[in-house]
Amino acid sequence: MKHITYNEETKVFRLNTNNSSYQMQVREHATLVHLYYGANVGDTEVTHRIISLDRGFSGNPYEAGEDRTFSLDVLPQEYSGYGNGDYRINGMEVEHEDGSDAVRLCYESHQIRKGKYSLSGLPAMYGDEDEAETLEIVLCDNISNLKVHLLYGVFPKLDVITRAVRIKNEGEKQITIQRAMSMEMDYPNKNMDLIHFYGRHCMERLKERLPLHHGVQSVESKRGTSSHQHNPFVILCDKKTTETHGDCYGFALVYSGNYRCEIEVDQMEQTRLVMGIHPYHFSYRLNQGDMFETPEVIIAYSAEGLGRLSHIYHDAYRSNLIRSKYVNTPRPILVNNWEATYFDFNEEKLFNIAKEAKEIGLDMFVLDDGWFGKRDSDYSGLGDWTVNEEKIRGGLPKLVKKIKGIGMKFGIWIEPEMISEDSELYRKHPDWCLRIPERHMNRSRHQLNLDITRKEVREYVMGQIFKVLDSCSVDYVKWDMNRSVDNVYSLALPKERQGEVFHRYVLGVYEMMEALVQRYPDILFENCSGGGGRFDAGMLYYSPQIWCSDNTDAIDRLKIQYGTSFGYPISTMGAHLSVCPNHQTGRTTPQETRGIVASAGTFGFELDLEHMSAEEKELAKKQIQEYKAMEHLVQTGDYHRLSSPFKNRDYVVWQFVSKDKKETIVHGVMLRNEANPHIHLIYLRGLESEAVYKDMETEKLYTGAALMKAGMPLPVKQGDFTPIQFRFCKVG
Ligand code: GLA
């Protein structure tokens, strides 16, 4: 069955996934009008949704003549230009050579083909001929001959549609793009809520749900990264939508730099959403024949609430975005030395941690920051990717050999995009950082961004990193990025190209990461940016996991991981069991609970194992085994948020269900105990109603319906922050 069709007569495009439909139509004056996105409506072309009325004060393009009912200001469009009578937020803006800025985009042609389009130098979902189809519609601004190619990737089984835009200057004059959004989506009503994920360093992706209001509202980052402050994933949903019911639409930008998602509720109560690169400090010069590609947005629709929407994204990313061979295979469980030692270690200390790790059943030792150059604090060393022999006497290969000798894998931390002023590299190449001539540079964590828009800088840094990785067969790399991008000016670019620096920086990061993953396909790669400051779909194209937050406090993590789970698979969230009192909050939480919370992610340890008591080590051994036994559920199962840490002050509970519904695990944390306590019932999801499930601890039997409809009482235990843990298996 074809999933993209075009009706020559009615000029309607229909894009169908298993459970969603997307339609648009070429209407009067070659205008591409958006008709519908939502539940699958089968073969019906929903052209009846468009009614034209005389809108008096709304502009009419010249070609409409005396027809005052044709106004771009009120029509739902697929991708809008500027200066054409539509005064709403728009898809694109340019500056022509004469200083004018009008763009009127008209349908010119289209092509439907099998397989998914790809973008050059940008991460994107991939799909072969059996998995995806592509629609490419060419729009043209006839005066300038600017061509705008709207790209659609349709993944029928995954229920996602991707969008991106390719802009080509086929005219004779120069054009400067001022705004190039990746997509636009018009809805005929305003009755929706916006869900977005805001935060800060150590407290990322906190969920907020707000009703849309008239005018423009936005979610954005101008920090050069996708940021801790606002994640590039948003949801629009019906006011009544819950985890299990109701309409919702997801928009995930596959990009790791400045971005903006704007939503406008207009005068006619219509809603328009645009998403793409932030127009702030952005311009892109296109000479005759030049082309620009926007990043991709992955859109998804669910009629069954937010839980189903998350499953769509989780499945899509795990099967057609993340490329790593580790995506659906057990990953080595690691111990990271950062919270154990910070900068203060030597090779003996590191080896001792590795030895202890081996004894409790961990698979890999990860050497974090501080192993290179003169790196004894935040103030120096970045850029000098040669081992610090004062700390690691005998060099890295010797230490790695010793660690591997006891049967442990070895991983290492790098921060390739940065430079410290106190470094050999800076003394040699002070012009290799981003810096504005004649101005002092803004420091952050006392470091500067390398100007990786420059090829020679990228090649030099990666060359140094490759030397390290080649010298000691590394199994894992943690790529960190510990400041926002600032001092945005490249000494290597002319004045008229400075508006490209932010974007070229991101392209530079992608090129470096691509070089790394191509050269070392067997290395497990984890992204990081001060924890989760670059937790986005773009990064997942390169690495199957991202360090979720620098906050390892189990109770704070409940909110962070809950928020992250809306848009990202659980297996992508780096989560470590750390020491108590916790280093970020000073809070004390039982080790069982810390284990349960870190198991809702890519499990690991981050503490000085030498300081653990025998009893704690025994428990750690058990926790590692338990995680290994459930890892397949984390990696390939469905994840259900059974309660919200933002609403429920008593407990937080979540559930993993295998795709075949034969096994389920319920985990959670009882936040506080009360005297003479209430009984709290939780209701499981995603099971077979008729099937019989066995509680693997009590051996009691329940039908799926009983677990889902009658519920399970949560355990009543003494103390706060106690763990909740159930496992049920289908027995009949
Ligand atoms: C960032 C990371 C941490 C750690 C430190 C090292 O904050 O998120 O995990 O690697 O840098 O400097």
Longest dimension (CA), the chain: 86
Min mean pLDDT across 49-63, 184-198, 559-573 is at 49-63
Q: Is the dihedral of CA 568, 574, 579, 583 positive or negative?
A: negative
Is 80 exceeded by the pLDDT of residue 371? yes
Q: Is the CB of 482 under 6 A from ligand 1?
A: yes
Q: Is 556 a catalytic residue?
A: no
pLDDT of residue 2: 87
State what percent of residues in the chain have pLDDT above 70.
100
The stretch 191-198 carries a mean pLDDT of 97
Is 70 exceeded by the pLDDT of residue 727? yes
pLDDT of residue 263: 98
**Number of other CB atoms surrounding residue 97 within 10 Å:** 12
pLDDT, tens digit, 9 for 90 and up, residues 11-50: 999 999 999 999 999 999 999 999 999 999 999 999 999 9
The stretch 149-165 carries a mean pLDDT of 98
Q: Is 500 a catalytic residue?
A: no
Q: Is the CB of 535 under 6 A from ligand 1?
A: no
DSSP classification of residue 358: H
Q: Provide the β-strand partners of residue 702.
A: 693
Is residue 153 within 8 Å of residue 166, measured between CB atoms? no
Torsion (CA) 668, 673, 677, 678 in degrees, nearest 10: -30
pLDDT, tens digit, 9 for 90 and up, residues 654-708: 999 999 999 999 999 999 999 999 999 999 999 999 999 999 999 999 999 999 9
Is 80 exceeded by the pLDDT of residue 393? yes
What's the CA-to-centroid distance between 478 and ligand 1, angstroms? 9
First-to-last alpha carbon distance for the chain, in angstroms, is 36
For a ligand 1 pocket test, name from 368, 529, 578, 583 the mutation site with the most ligand atoms within 8 angstroms of its C-beta.
368
Q: Is the CB of 369 under 6 A from ligand 1?
A: yes
Choice among 184, 220, 315, 536 that is catalytic: 536
Q: Is the CB of 368 under 6 A from ligand 1?
A: yes
Task: Tell me the domain boundaries of the chain.
Answer: 88-320, 334-547, 651-731
Task: Locate the ligand 1 atom nearest the alpha carbon of residue 529 and give its number.
Answer: 8
Q: Provide the β-strand partners of residue 730.
A: 693
For a ligand 1 pocket test, name from 204, 527, 528 the mutation site with the most ligand atoms within 8 angstroms of its C-beta.
528
Q: Is the CB of 530 under 6 A from ligand 1?
A: yes
Give the C-alpha separation, 300 to 542, whole Å.
22
Give the C-alpha separation, 167 to 148, whole Å.
5
State what percent of residues in the chain have pLDDT above 90.
98
Q: Which residue has the tokens 């004045």?
A: 495
Instruction: Say which residues have a Cβ less than 8 Å from residue 122's Cβ, sequence separation at least 6.
Output: 254, 255, 293, 295, 296, 507, 510, 538
What's the CA-to-centroid distance between 508 and ligand 1, angstroms? 22
Amino acid at 184: E
pLDDT, tens digit, 9 for 90 and up, residues 606-617: 999 999 999 999
Identify which of 107, 102, 108 has the alpha carbon closest to the alpha carbon of residue 90. Answer: 102
pLDDT of residue 95: 98
pLDDT, tens digit, 9 for 90 and up, residues 136-148: 999 999 999 999 9
Choice among 101, 170, 616, 650 that is catalytic: 616
Buried b (16+ CB within 10 A) or exposed e, 645-657: beeeeebbbbbbb
pLDDT, tens digit, 9 for 90 and up, residues 403-462: 999 999 999 999 999 999 999 999 999 999 999 999 999 999 999 999 999 999 999 999
C-alpha radius of gyration, the chain, whole number: 27
3-class SS letters over 307-326? HHHHHHHHHHHHHHCCCCCC
Is residue 144 within 8 Å of residue 175, measured between CB atoms? yes
pLDDT of residue 56: 80
- Output the CA–CA distances (angstroms, integers) from residue 560 to 192, 551, 655, in the order listed: 24, 9, 16
Q: Is the CB of 663 under 6 A from ligand 1?
A: no
pLDDT, tens digit, 9 for 90 and up, residues 351-360: 999 999 999 9
Q: Is the CB of 528 under 6 A from ligand 1?
A: yes
Identify which of 474, 340, 480, 477 has the alpha carbon closest to the alpha carbon of residue 403. Answer: 474
Give the C-alpha separation, 294 to 166, whole Å.
6
Which architecture does CATH list for 334-547? Alpha-Beta Barrel (3.20)
Instruction: Say which residues have a Cβ less than 8 Å from residue 629's Cβ, sequence separation at least 6.
Output: none
Is 90 exceeded by the pLDDT of residue 1? no
Helix (H) / strand (E) containing 370: none
pLDDT of residue 190: 81
Amino acid at 674: E
DSSP classification of residue 706: I
Global model pTM greater than 0.95: yes
Q: Is the CB of 651 under 6 A from ligand 1?
A: no
- 88-320: CATH topology is Beta-galactosidase; Chain A, domain 5 (2.70.98)
pLDDT, tens digit, 9 for 90 and up, residues 571-593: 999 999 999 999 999 999 999 99
pLDDT, tens digit, 9 for 90 and up, residues 95-118: 999 999 999 999 999 999 999 999
Is residue 57 within 8 Å of residue 109, measured between CB atoms? no
The domain 651-731 having CATH identifier 3.30.930.10: the answer here is no
What's the CA-to-centroid distance between 368 and ligand 1, angstroms? 8
Give the C-alpha separation, 612 to 445, whole Å.
31
**Number of other CB atoms surrounding residue 285 within 10 Å:** 17
